[in-house]
Structure 1
Amino acid sequence: MQTVLVTGGAGYIGAHACKVLKAAGFTPVTFDNLNTGWEEAVKFGPFFRGDLMNRADVDAAFVQYRPVAVLHFAALSLVGESMKDPGKYWRVNVMGALNLIEGALAAGCRNFVFSSTCATYGDQDGVLLDENSVQKPINSYGASKRAIEDMLVNFGESHGLNHVIFRYFNVAGCDPEGEIGEQHVPETHLIPLMLDAVAGKRPALTVFGSDYPTRDGTCVRDYVHVMDLVQAHVLGLQWLLEGKGNRVFNLGTGTGFTVREVIEASRAVTNREVPIIEGARRAGDAVALVSGSARAIEELGWEPVHSTLRQMIGDAWGWAQGPGYTK
């Protein structure tokens, strides 16, 4: 079985990626420092505890496992924090990625799948974003991811680094089989925050901003199911292993939902009211981010079959209820 190094493999998206990699016949090696990941989520292959900021850790992982490719998920990703402490995001995200890229090349590993973000596009209201849309990030998180994309292009031109870049939108849901779920400390994602409020694990859900120029005053986002998202990464890996060249793909559904629409969908799934508090806008939040994924569908053969709001909320609700929950 071919080995793939998965940075951030103990985190929400990375752990789901390891599951589908194993199902696809690969051996996923999780590389994680556990600052935000969970060792109990490492269930599908070996675990190498290391830090991307330490080049020696990176080199040791490549020597030990000799991966054919890297799936790079590890990053700081809190928009609000990135606005308050941009240096932290430039240092950790960009320098960590540089260590990883140089370590991969030194080890002869030239296949790199990068987890980027729609935050590289910034705030472009009324536009269905595609891979050719102008990138003008409005926060340090998006800017750091854009910088890593540029690095991949530079190293591709200079050193033959093959890469696939995925710019994706809001990831939601969890493994329908219940092996792994979504948990962050602190939790910042809308759906788990909302379901925690419904379950009484937190007092109420704060809606950040109700005066945006949208149909109900709240932000609009495009949601994609985590299982669909990580399946695209496996397809991207196979794309590189087949020698198809460097490519950028957006991953979304082309349908945007407001915060209030997500709340209404939760009521339909859980049959419970969502307690809410009206809060002020957050710095760095775009009004609307929506993407089509025609390129991924046509070229990769990607099918976002799980990415309905009902399934994303339903799978997350099932995980939140714990083992033995029946939908």
Structure 2
Amino acid sequence: MSWLVTGGAGYIGAHVVRALSSAGIDPVVVDDLSSGHAEFVPPGIPFIEGSILDRDLLTDTMRAHGVTGVIHVAGFKYAGVSVQRPLHTYEQNVEGTRVVLQAMTDADATRIVFSSSAAVYGTPDVPLVTEDLPKRPASPYGESKLIGEWLIRDQATATAGTDAALRHTSLRYFNVVGSADPAVYDTSPHNLFPIVFEKLLAGQTPQINGDDYDTPDGTNVRDYVHVGDIAAAHVVAAQRLQAGEPVEAAYNLGSQNGLSVREIMDAMARVTGIGFTPRIGPRRPGDPDRIVATGDLAARDLDWRNRYTVDEMVRTGWDARRAAG
């Protein structure tokens, strides 16, 4: 039994690969290295460089390695940039998911864990986001993830009751941070942690975008979850699908409480030992005051819980970034 991890050379995917191996499941990686890094794939793990848009490549890979399920992490994940590049976003996230599903059909792989996003909810005006909240994505990225969920749902409906019945679940989450392996770190130029780390390493002062929001300290409150916890939840989801155990169509992997940007900045200074007072810049258009999701269903079914404090999130991410040189 093996599982294909699309995007397995990326920050999240590489952690999923390691978590699968630790659980005794053989991972296979396909990644086009558009944002991933070949060195993030552990030695001995089958790695095929290529695009998820290449149906023949995916089908041949699954057949060659006896793949029974897919953890579909690959995608274009930059919500802000997706507004300027909607066609690229839809190609990678919608067409890419369709091709993955078609290749799974060709290769008789019948289980999929989809790396979705809490961006499917848009900017809900509620204290805690639950799975049944109306879906109102506010970017092409969020729309593409929601359509990906629809594609998987519809394929499952079409194959229900057959030998090729598709079993699936989608995992929705916001801001993934930290590191569970010093060999893997977040290299995104759009995420808060790497932005702050690069500023500090360059001797520059990080910036907070707005401090007049309706929150206790005036800065945005967001859902920060550790990448090690995220990877573990993907593996448990795969195990439940493999065992034929019941799963929900979608789970939020939420922190329940959230952290403000200022709290993150304070932890950055505290953990790195680099004292700084962040500059205050203007608000970014469309940034809501607070977005935090529950994780109750995932706690029930996927052993989901937050195992890291904010200082540990920062420490693991900082150590991995510095280890990279």
Decide which moves more: 276-285 or 251-260: 276-285
Identity %: 33
Find 1:165's aligned residue among 156, 167, 170: 170
Aligned-partner Cα distance in 2 for 1:113–1:304:
20
Aligned-partner Cα distance in 2 for 1:292–1:305:
15
SS at match of 2:265: helix
- 1:162-185 CA distance string (max 9 Å, x none): 10110012111002x42322223x
Alignment partner of 1:95 is 2:100:
no
1:55-70 superposed matches below 5 A? 55-70=55-70
Aligned-partner Cα distance in 2 for 1:245–1:144:
26
- Any stretches of 5+ residues in structure 2 without a counterpart? 160-164
Alignment partner of 1:219 is 2:224:
no
2:22 match: 23
- 1:289-322 CA distance string (max 9 Å, x none): 101211111122333323x211100111111222
1:1-327 superposed matches below 5 A? 2-43=1-42, 45-159=45-159, 160-175=165-180, 177-184=181-188, 187-200=189-202, 203-247=204-248, 248-274=250-276, 276-306=278-308, 308-322=309-323
- 1:64-93 CA distance string (max 9 Å, x none): 222111000101011111112212211221
The change in CA–CA distance for 1:293 and 1:257 in structure 2 (over 3 A counts) is: same
RMSD: 1.8
The change in CA–CA distance for 1:323 and 1:191 in structure 2 (over 3 A counts) is: closer
SS at match of 1:288: coil
Question: Which residue identity is paired with 1:51?
Answer: S
CA contact under 8 A between 1:198 and 1:275: conserved in structure 2? no
The change in CA–CA distance for 1:86 and 1:285 in structure 2 (over 3 A counts) is: farther
Aligned-partner Cα distance in 2 for 1:274–1:66:
52
CA contact under 8 A between 2:8 and 2:41: conserved in structure 1? yes
SS at match of 1:68: strand
CA contact under 8 A between 2:247 and 2:301: conserved in structure 1? no
Aligned-partner Cα distance in 1 for 2:247–2:106:
20
- 1:195-237 CA distance string (max 9 Å, x none): 2222226x33232233333223322111111001100000000
- Any stretches of 5+ residues in structure 1 without a counterpart? none
> TM-score, structure 2 length as denominator?
0.92
> TM-score, structure 1 length as denominator?
0.92
CA contact under 8 A between 1:79 and 1:284: conserved in structure 2? no
